[in-house]
Structure 1
Amino acid sequence: MTLHVPFDNSYARLPERFFARQPADPVRAPSLIAVNADLARALGIDPDALATDDGIAMLSGNAAPTGADPLAQAYAGHQFGGWSPQLGDGRALLLGEVVDQSGQRRDIQLKGSGRTPFSRMGDGRAWLGPVLREYVISEAMHAMGIPTTRALAAVVTGETVLRERPLPGAVLTRVAASHIRVGTFQYFAARGDVEAIRLLADHVIARHYPTVTSPLGLLDAVIDAQSDLIAKWLGVGFIHGVMNTDNCAISGETIDYGPCAFMDRYEGGKVFSSIDRGGRYAYDKQPDIAVWNLAQFATCLLPLISDDRDQAVDQASEAVHRFPQCFAECWQATFRAKLGLNTAEANDALLIDSLLSRMEAGGADFTNTFAGLANGTAAAAFHEPEILDPWLEDYQARLDRQPGDVDTDAMTRANPLIIPRNHQIEAMIAAAVGGDFAPFHHLHAATIQPFNLTDPDLALPPGPGQEVRQTFCGT
């Protein structure tokens, strides 16, 4: 069985200063953990070929297939508000691009493939835990309809990675609409390289927003995409954890699943990331950080918007100032769907906020509260169920004002029953480190069917002693 990947590498045709070409560092004894067969087929790749020796060699970085053009992308970024003029792919390589069966261009990237010129003091490797975390969570996000990078495969390398302790190494093969970030634009803006910014903007428009006709139109399109994305995150209780500008994808996809987490008990200011000591990227701060990131993107585009800097600043500022209203509309649409509301009323935001406030006061599980609204069991998610009663009266009155019955099927599709809960992920990783991948496969199989209760145990919030209070980056 011959491995064939239909590469067509547009990013590699950009000037050399956009990246560093190099092969991956070989690993000693790679073996396959999982292949995403459906995604492989969508990319025009035979999934069975990925499980052959040639396929595993590609997925581990031991061999680049015909047509690949491995490169590490250059970018900069604000990390927790602090400026880093050069970051780049320090442990990843873009193998190349394919045009999938629906006509969409997709990157295929290896994460954990060894050192690059952007590695700084890092080893360029990944250990098994973050690879499995990203595999499970990114595929769960896709199944919930949230724009995201995806996982094509995971392999163990047969080598040890040193973190706090020796851990098994692994490589994730990630698929994305692209890996172009706000930080990619910042890299060239910091160097005053207007030609590179123009080339990058033209590439992004052709690739992601082909109906856009101007740099200002590109800014508007990215604002719309980020508004929709962040609203969808909040709708499932997702906390990214590291919303740095180098983790803000221009395509509007969720990218880089480091110390991310889904909330169990609802808390508006919830933070999981061990490195977010100031709560910069808390659950309810994510819209504010999105607009901050977009302001950095707008600043990069100023030379393209107008030769008159003052005019460019005015136009870009007007666009960025549109975000709060755009996001509010997306957020209300997301939560109306979760509540089964098929019409819009002026006070819907107050109704949603009132529910969230009561959930926080009552220690309610986020996922199970919304899942329970469709079948009348929402109060069971509260430590003090009576807290919900007054809101249920207001909610019923609101339902009575809309025409027809609630579309419970549509409501069900807006409210997952199963998410990758933190304690389940940690248990899955612990088992895998010990050589048992059955919990990984079980959790993955359940979370890619988030609207079906395939395993009721996976819908349970953490019990005593199971709650995970911190998540870690893994680099």
Structure 2
Amino acid sequence: MKIISQYTQLNPKLYHQQAAQPLTGAQAGHFNQALAEELQWSEQEQQQWVKYCSGQKSFADFPSLAMVYAGHQFGQWAGQLGDGRGLLVAQLQDRHGKTVDLHLKGAGKTPYSRMGDGRAVLRSVIREYLAGHALNALGVPSSNAIGFTTSTQAIQREKIESGAMLLRTADSHIRLGHFEWINQYAPELLADFVEHCIQWHYPECLDEEQPVLAFAEHVICRTAKMIALWQLHGFAHGVMNTDNLNITGSTLDFGPFGFMERFRPNWINNHSDHHGRYTYQQQPSVAHWNLWVWINNLIPLAQASEKEKFKQDLSNCLAQFEPTFLECYQQGLCAKMGLPHFHKDSFQCAMSFLNILQSEQLDYTQSFIRLQEKQWQVLRDDCLNLHQFDQFVEQYHAIRQNQDQHQLDAEMKQHNPRYILRNHMAQTAIQAAEAGDFSELDRLFKLLTQPYTHQPDLEHAADLAPLASDQAEISVSCSS
């Protein structure tokens, strides 16, 4: 491993150095060898992965630390937050020369734990481990994980559960909430902090006439593209607080997430989200709101005489969110549909298909696979409103009639996964793991590694559809 110590260059007010607190009786859970190799772990380091993933062994030349930040949670100012159960244990260089954070989750209490115990439990660690892996395989920017460990240590949640640790990777753990904390508690650090953020993550902005504005626009556009990919894959994050979005536009902090099964845009996958703030359909507007909060924390960088102009310039940067999101979403949806994105009627036709999925409560992922495989009768048989479906099919064929259909079909195969991480799939793996059997988790890990490829030897029937209508959906909480 090639250790890169970036974050420790910042003012010590921004973090607290401490060692991880290993769990009692740490045991192997699952190891992502391909990712470890990507991060240039040696064979010896790979052999010791359990020690690294359980806090028993630290990384040389990097003092582990807990970050402090703040945030808005469910739209309300929550004050000081921070790494309450995780530590940044290393920053290293991957084989492409990119810097990657290693973050150990469940590593014990920190000064930012508030009322928490600093621990994570096996079920939440498994969900995050599989979700990060699934999103990366789908091509969605996301954190990932090298591995996780379980233990014999009992952790109190709604019931007694097994403690666990996850060694997470991300291109950055700098959150929008970092800027909120600095402006509230240490405003003198803002200019230096922003300068380092640009140097580390957007060095191309240094050549711009106004680097801070270029930085803001890059963060806004990357976030917009990430949200568009969430929407295209039916992914609902579940808890899009400002402290859960980072500055690189990659998915971070899985809590009550879910991949939508039946197409219900107002589906609430977080049972603590009583007003539906973080539903699937709200994600673009919430991301825009979070970024609006964020750019307001950049205003103090302007000279007093230029503050009003700087505010307007930042507002112009934020105005790029909607067109960036729409372009990415529209082109992606047309690719999923096998329609040419440049045709004037393609997007409207695609939305007609989504209206059918919503009104008929059809499975989102499998309906696109059936469309891809031209299973017209199967799709039609699932519909009650046959007139609506027949109108869609007529328009769909008319748009494709004079196009390169082979190319359009090839794009469909690249944009429509056969396999997503359905909540009941994860729950089955969790229940087996809690009983000491990690074979189902390993099967899902392999299946989700190639989500666009038909894998009849690995798939189970339950991987392909939601729970039956007479079975209650899995309720997911923030408890971890």
TM-score when normalising by structure 1: 0.95
- 288-297 vs 400-409, which moves further: 400-409
Q: By how many angstroms is 1:363 displaced?
A: 1.2
Q: Is the 8 A contact 1:423 1:466 kept in 2?
A: no
Counterpart check, 1:50 vs 2:46: yes
Deviations 1:384-438 (A, max 9, x none): 2634322121111111243453432321110000011111111111111122211
Could you say which residue in structure 2 is the equivalent of 1:66? 60
Matched, 1:79 2:73: yes
Would the aligned equivalents of 1:21 and 1:72 in 2 still touch at CA under 8 Å? yes
Asked if 1:203 is matched to 2:203, the reply is no
Q: Distance in 2 between the 1:28 and 1:240 partners?
A: 31
Computed over aligned residues only, the root mean square deviation of the Cα atoms, in angstroms, reads 1.7
Please, which moves more after superposition, 103-112 or 407-416?
407-416
Which runs of structure 2 are paired with 1:242-257 in the superposition (5 Å)?
Answer: 242-257=239-254
| Pairing of 1:186-335 with structure 2 (within 5 A) | 186-191=180-185, 193=187, 195-213=188-206, 214-307=211-304, 308-335=306-333
Structure 1 range deviating more: 352-361 or 453-462 = 453-462
Inter-partner Cα distance in structure 2 for 1:229 and 1:356: 20
* Residues 370, 415 of structure 1: 8 Å contact kept: yes
2:335 touches 2:412 (CA, 8 Å); kept in 1? Answer: yes
How far off its partner does 1:265 sit? 0.3
Q: Which amino acid aligns with 2:464?
A: A
SS at match of 1:33: strand
Measure, in 1, the Cα distance between the counterparts of 2:230 and 2:40: 30
Q: Does 1:384 align with 2:377?
A: no
Give 2:95's aligned amino acid.
Q
Q: How far is the alpha carbon of 1:473 from its aligned partner?
A: 1.5
- CA gap of 1:39–1:104, structure 2 versus 1, over 3 A, is same
Residue 368 of structure 2: aligned partner: 370
In structure 2, distance between residues paired with 1:206 and 1:401 = 49
Aligned to 2:5: 9
The answer to whether the Cα contact below 8 Å between 1:24 and 1:113 also exists between their aligned partners in 2 is: yes
Partner deviation per Cα, 1:77-101 (whole Å, 9 max, x = no partner):
0000111221000000000100110
Task: Find the counterpart in structure 1 of residue 106 from structure 2.
Answer: 112
Which whole-Å deviations, capped at 9, do the CAs of 1:270-317 have from their partners, x for residues lacking one?
Answer: 111011110001111100001001101111111225542221221111
Shift of 1:72: 0.3
Aligned residue for 1:27? 23
1:368, 1:417 within 8 Å by CA — same for their partners in 2? yes
Aligned counterparts, 1:408-447, within 5 A: 408-447=409-448
Q: Distance between the aligned counterparts of 1:90 and 1:215, measured in 2?
A: 30
Identity %: 33
Q: After TM superposition, give the deviation of residue 374 of structure 1 in Å.
A: 1.4
Q: Secondary structure at the match of 2:100?
A: strand
When structure 1 is superposed on structure 2, of 243-252 and 408-417 the one drifting more is 408-417
State how far apart, in whole Å, the 2-side matches of 1:277 and 1:414 are: 33
1:232 positional shift: 0.3
Would the aligned equivalents of 1:78 and 1:246 in 2 still touch at CA under 8 Å? yes
The alpha-carbon deviation at position 198 of structure 1 amounts to 1.8
Whether the 8 Å CA contact 1:303–1:312 is kept in 2: the answer is: no
Alignment of structure 1 residues 98-177 onto 2, 5 Å: 98-177=92-171
SS of equivalent to 1:153: strand
Q: Is the 8 A contact 1:336 1:342 kept in 2?
A: yes
Match in the other structure for 2:475: 470
- 2:85 alignment counterpart: 91
The SS at the match of 2:436 is coil
Normalising to structure 2: TM-score of the pair?
Answer: 0.94
**Residue in structure 2 matching 1:459, options 448, 459, 464:** 464
Write the distance in 1 (CA, Å) between the matches of 2:377 and 2:52: 50
Q: Distance in 1 between matches of 2:39 and 2:345?
A: 45
SS at 2:153's partner residue? strand
Task: Compare 63-72 and 216-225 and name the one that shifted more.
Answer: 63-72
Q: Counterparts of 1:205 and 1:299 in 2: how far apart (Å)?
A: 17
Which letter does structure 1 place at the counterpart of 2:434?
V
Paired residue for 1:38? 34
Deviation at 1:469, TM superposition (A): 4.7
Write the distance in 2 (CA, Å) between the matches of 1:116 and 1:147.
28
Q: Which moved more, 1:172-181 or 1:387-396?
A: 387-396
What one-letter code is carried by the residue in structure 2 that aligns with 1:330?
C
CA contact (8 A) 1:423 1:462 kept: yes
Query: Aligned with 2:80: secondary structure?
Result: coil
Aligned partners of 1:112, 1:88: CA distance in 2, in Å? Answer: 14
Deviation at 1:48, TM superposition (A): 5.7
Q: Distance in 2 between matches of 1:448 and 1:311?
A: 48
On the 8 A contact 1:239/1:262 being kept in 2, the answer is yes
